[in-house]
Amino acid sequence: ERDEIFLNEKVNKDSSDILTEDEFEILCSSFENAIHERQPFLSMDPESILSFEELKPTLIKSDMANSNLRNQLNYEINSHETHFITQFDPLSQMDTRPLIQLIEKFGSQIYEYWKERKIEVNGYEIFPQLRFERPGEKEEIDPYVCFRRREVRHPRKTRRIDILNSQRLRSLHQELKNTRELALLIAKRENVSLNWINDELKIFNQRVQVKNLKRSLNISGEDDDLINHKRKRPIIFTIEQREAELKKAELKRAAAAAAAAKAKNNKKNNQLDDKSSSRLSKQQQQQLLQQQEQQQQNAIKSESGKQLIPASSSVSSQPITSHVYVKLPSSKIPDIVLEEVDALLNSKEKNARKFVQE
């Protein structure tokens, strides 16, 4: 009630640019979030609250982060809406202006009013919030306290527990990524279906206009283009059918590759056979030449053998004698001076005596 009185009597009174209740609540909630970020312990000294000029950069920064996130989602979904909102945003934001415009036009005036109310509640939240137990305090009597703390004995940390926790975090992260991708795909599908419905509506309206125009001008002719023909129902493939088709395609590719490899091998074998046949023909020619040469040599040998037969018969008629000892001529006997045995023994005795005496 107090906010409504301030909004109607001081902000929107005698002004063409009216601030709605939704926009007023958006401004107040943005002030609350910015103060909670910049001054989390404001309840210790409520009078030290920041001014509007000091808080303005934080407000713009938070709005830029939200707008960038929405623009990114809008781009990923392939949507072309200028004012993009999600299901988590209230429907009232469809008609609201951007936060930056509200801050520039009404920021200073609304902030002064909100600042007074913030000081009145000693720096705590203006809007009603759930009550929690504060650290170091136990409020067992107050029935409005939510989520009371329990003294739990902390388990002993071990390497095994750390590994399990890390695995759970990884699996949770992967599941969140999968859900995000699924949500984006669903949003894209719904956006495509919505665009298709809008296109169908445009076509229908244009057909109605064409029909009215033809009737007014008394134009008669074929109206096939003005009739909405039934479309064939699209065939929906399941994941199993798609996998089976992919397997069939892979088998066909493998069979084609095997056939190509077989044809290539056959071609190589044919080339090798041609080469081997040419080599065999060359070898046969060489063998024929060698046989002819050998025949000529045999003929020559046979003729020479006939001429040598009488000479060999005369030589074979003489008796063959063999001697064990061969008498060498005097010129081939070596001149060696042989010493006598007595002289050798005498020289050895002399040498032994000299050795003993020394």
Range 23-46 average pLDDT: 88
pLDDT of residue 167: 94
Range 43-52 average pLDDT: 88
Range 320-341 average pLDDT: 56
Maximum mean pLDDT: which of 8-12, 230-234, 259-263, 300-304:
259-263
Judged against a pLDDT cut of 50, whether residue 321 lies above it is answered with: no
pLDDT of residue 319: 44
pLDDT of residue 325: 53
Give residue-wise pLDDT tens across range 83-117: 667 776 766 666 778 788 888 888 888 999 999 98
Question: What radius of gyration, in Å, describes the C-alpha atoms of the chain?
Answer: 58
Q: What are the residue boundaries of the structural domains of the chain, listed by start?
A: 1-121
- 205: three-class secondary structure by DSSP: helix
Do 92 and 22 meet the contact criterion of CB atoms below 8 Å apart?
yes
Judged against a pLDDT cut of 50, whether residue 39 lies above it is answered with: yes
Range 277-306 average pLDDT: 70
Give residue-wise pLDDT tens across range 174-224: 999 999 999 889 988 988 898 899 998 998 898 888 888 888 888 777 777
pLDDT of residue 309: 46
How buried is 109 (Cβ within 10 angstroms: 0-12 exposed, 13-18 middle, 19+ buried)? middle
**Smallest Cα–Cα separation from 3: which of 23, 54, 15?**
23
Q: Report the range of poorest mean pLDDT among 28-32, 174-178, 281-285.
A: 281-285
- For residue 121, what pLDDT band results from cuts at 50, 70 and 90? confident
Range 122-126 average pLDDT: 85
Instruction: Please count the other Cβ atoms lying within 10 Å of the Cβ belonging to residue 56.
Output: 17
pLDDT of residue 174: 95
Q: How far is Cα 184 from Cα 197, in angstroms, rounded to an integer? A: 20
Q: How far is Cα 49 from Cα 118, in angstroms, rounded to an integer? A: 9
> Nearest 10 degrees: CA dihedral of 18, 20, 25, 31?
-20
Element of type H or E holding 115: helix 99-120
pLDDT of residue 74: 78
Q: Report the range of poorest mean pLDDT among 22-36, 48-62, 141-155.
A: 141-155
Give residue-wise pLDDT tens across range 177-190: 999 999 889 988 98
Do 111 and 55 meet the contact criterion of CB atoms below 8 Å apart?
yes
Range 2-29 average pLDDT: 84
Q: How far is Cα 129 from Cα 118, in angstroms, rounded to an integer? A: 14
- For residue 172, what pLDDT band results from cuts at 50, 70 and 90? very high
Is the pTM higher than 0.85?
A: no
Give residue-wise pLDDT tens across range 129-153: 777 777 667 767 777 787 777 777 7
In angstroms, the Cα distances linking 109 to 6, 26, 52, 165, 271 are 11, 14, 9, 50, 96
Please give the residue that has the higher pLDDT: either 311 or 294.
294
Judged against a pLDDT cut of 60, whether residue 323 lies above it is answered with: no
pLDDT of residue 145: 80
pLDDT of residue 275: 66
Q: What percent of the chain has pLDDT over 90?
A: 10
pLDDT of residue 310: 47
Degrees to nearest 5, angle at CA 266 with 260 and 271: 130
Do 172 and 58 meet the contact criterion of CB atoms below 8 Å apart?
no
> Nearest 10 degrees: CA dihedral of 152, 153, 158, 163?
-10
Burial 196-218 (b: 16+ CB within 10 A, else e): eeeeeeeeeeeeeeeeeeeeeee
Q: How far is Cα 318 from Cα 331, in angstroms, rounded to an integer? A: 30
